[in-house]
Chains A and B, each alone.
Chain A
Amino acid sequence: DAKTTQPNSMESNEEEPVHLPCNHSTISGTDYIHWYRQLPSQGPEYVIHGLTSNVNNRMASLAIAEDRKSSTLILHRATLRDAAVYYCILRDVFDDYKLSFGAGTTVTVRA
């Protein structure tokens, strides 16, 4: 499984942006970058995914480096509800349909 590296924890103030980094130096050409988050006492929740180009949706933006060896999940205005563990996951589009979770980044949002 291709590996990702994330910081253990990050803190943010409410209504400020949050930038969550993820390193994946061994990424292959067919690996998509997926982000999920897990709120307390809930199952993981899909956030966003991308291959090469930056992606935006209603929840977040995903910025992917030109060499694809790193990416950043951007929460534009953090709310208390965004406090969760965020997982960066590589998933091979052709032959790997499982999700390989690491330890993720625990995000704390201060009111």
Chain B
Amino acid sequence: DAGVTQSPTHLIKTRGQQVTLRCSPKSGHDTVSWYQQALGQGPQFIFQYYEEEERQRGNFPDRFSGHQFPNYSSELNVNALLLGDSALYLCASSLWRDNQPQHFGDGTRLSIL
């Protein structure tokens, strides 16, 4: 049973560019959440998708957008990249409105030059 998978594992971009990160949820899960983790800090919630709609959003600008597909996989898009966007981006999957654990992937390390 595959867990949460994210691609790519590492990515280098320059300021002003755009990036797309991908996530496949754990089998049987229908909800995907995205988190940003800066070096030495805890993950910060970006947004959550269920039924192809954004259901909850953290304190991130609208340069951060997402999408969920009918097969429950998800993408995170970041436009007009800034140096401060350098971080580990984590995807987590779960069941909607269920207090059971979220399952995390190992993340995509994004470096902005």
Contact = CB atoms under 8 A, between A and B. Distances in A.
Interface of A: 32, 34, 41-46, 49, 85, 87, 91, 93, 96-104
Given A32-B99, A97-B97, A44 B45 contact: no
A34 B92 CA distance: 15
Instruction: Tell me the dominant secondary structure on chain A's binding face.
Output: loop
Nearest to A47: B101
Interface stretch (B62-70, B78-86, B103-111): B103-111
A105 to B, nearest CB: 11
B104 A101 contact: no
Interface residues of B, number: 26
Nearest to B58: A98
Contact of B43 (A44, A46, A91): A44
A104 B42 CA distance: 7
Given A97-B31, A98-B48, A43 B106 contact: yes
A41 B44 CA distance: 17
Interface string B4-26: 10000000000000000000000
Contacts of B92: 43-44, 99
